[in-house]
Amino acid sequence: MRHLYADFVDRVEKPMRYLGGEYQAVVKGDGVAARVCLAFPDVYDIGMSHLGTKIIYSLLNRDPRIACERAFAPWLDMEAELRARGLPLVSLETQRPLCEFDLVGVSVQYELTFTNLLTLLDLGGIPLRAADRAEDATLVLIGGPTASHPEPIAPFIDAAYIGEAEELLPPLVLAWAELRRQIAAGARTRRDALAELASRFPLYVPALYATQTDDATGMTVVGAPLDPRVPPRVGRAMVADLDRYPFPSDTPVPYAEAVFERASVEIARGCTEGCRFCQAGMIYRPVRERSPRSIVESLLGGVERAGYDETGLTCLSTADFSSITPLVKQVAGELRRRGVSMSVASLRAYGLNEDLLDELALTRISGLTFAPEAGTQRMRDVVNKNVTEAHIEESSRRVFSRGWHRLKLYFMIGLPTETDDDVRGIVE
């Protein structure tokens, strides 16, 4: 079938962002009970490196009743072409416009992509405001970190999924597809179907809650639910045992260059630290670990099935993984035999195990990363970052003594109570 964009896609930067057909992409026919599009609110290069999208894409497509496809926010040149020609944004797998799916899921990672969400809806043929959508229209569902505070985009979404997706998202998708069929048959209204869905799953449905203006601040405040089936406070979904959902190694391999071209595996979820600036450290509690066996199988699966020559171990605090040293030793040994390199996510700048550093030094890692976050001790104390300048200097000495020539430090600008001296401290 000739692609909808075939006549002009060569005029835009990186045409492969929009054509699909990648190795390990899943294309299913019409005989499915539910069809979902994961619409990532950023360009292909970034979205194809997002681990959450990989997890959900593989999770949903393992169910033969569900077809899960992908779409990404187009770059400015492609957006202009689509608008000039009156063409919709379509999925990579089957070239369907977003408005033809049962559900469009958007993982919103941070607030600056809120406007990209609106672009996805507009180009996908979905009315921007939930109140303007037809009774049996596509469900717009957001997830990810900012789903925990969705009010700025509440008028534009049908629901926000609160928490982790692995256990409850597949049955939610199937339940909505059935409810949508009932709406189309005249057996339910959209509002009734949303209330039914919210009674069974961890969903915040803005249309089902009263709002009022706070006299002191002038801000809109969410009040009591408008339907007795809807909970006053939405609970958070959490996966107790990560090994029940092995990290996927069968996800699409990007044709266009991605930001991170490696086989990365989430080794744990949650964090023991209590940094005040860290949203993820709060919303993904408690700490849960994957078994070393599951991690190794997923990592090697990504290398062997997708051909990656670089791998990564990732979580909020890699060095806090309970068996990190033997894990790195086992992984490094397997990768050395295959000529594959390994990276590790940001490490704490204190208390690093000597054996861990020795094992990392034997792998093909070009450098390590620490995250002091702030340039002065005062600012680090404010955000509860338990690291001192002495910790940083000592860890740096230990790293360089093992032959590394590069060390990356992460800092943030704009923290509460920050002064010019705190910013200058980053440079000093």
- Domains of the chain by range and CATH? 9-225 (3.40.50.2300), 262-427 (3.20.20.70)
Please state the separation of Cα 99 from the chain's center in Å. Answer: 22
Tokens coding 243: 């090994």
Cα separation, 272 vs 344, in Å, equals: 18
Strand pairing category for 220-225 and 310-314: unpaired
Strand pairing category for 268-269 and 263-266: unpaired
> Rg of the chain over CA atoms, in angstroms?
23
Low-confidence ranges of the chain (pLDDT < 70): 364-366
**Edge-to-edge strand list for the sheet holding 341-344:** 263-266, 310-314, 341-344
Cα separation, 78 vs 158, in Å, equals: 27
Strand pairing category for 288-289 and 220-225: unpaired
3-state secondary structure of 230: coil
β-bridge partners, 411: 373
Please state the separation of Cα 335 from the chain's center in Å. Answer: 26
Inter-residue contact 226 to 206 (CB < 8 Å): no
Count of CB atoms within 10 A of residue 251's CB? Answer: 24
Peptide bond preceding 225 in cis form (omega within 30 of 0): no
Q: How far is CA 393 from CA 28, 348, 369, in A?
A: 54, 13, 13
Cα separation, 343 vs 339, in Å, equals: 14
For residues 340-379, b (16+ Cβ closer than 10 Å) or e, as one string? bbbbbbbbbbeebeeebbebbeebebeebbbbbbbbbbeb
3-state secondary structure of 336: helix
Q: Given this model, what pLDDT does residue 366 score?
A: 62
Which of left, alpha, beta for 91 (phi over 0: left; psi -120 to 50: alpha)? beta
Q: Given this model, what pLDDT does residue 306 score?
A: 84
Cα separation, 389 vs 44, in Å, equals: 39
Among residues 160, 156, 162, 158, the alpha carbon closest in space to that of 190 is found at 158
Residue at 214: amino acid letter: D
Residue at 107: amino acid letter: S
Inter-residue contact 81 to 75 (CB < 8 Å): no
Torsion angles phi and psi, residue 343, rounded to 5 = -125, 155
Entry pTM: 0.93
β-bridge partners, 269: 288
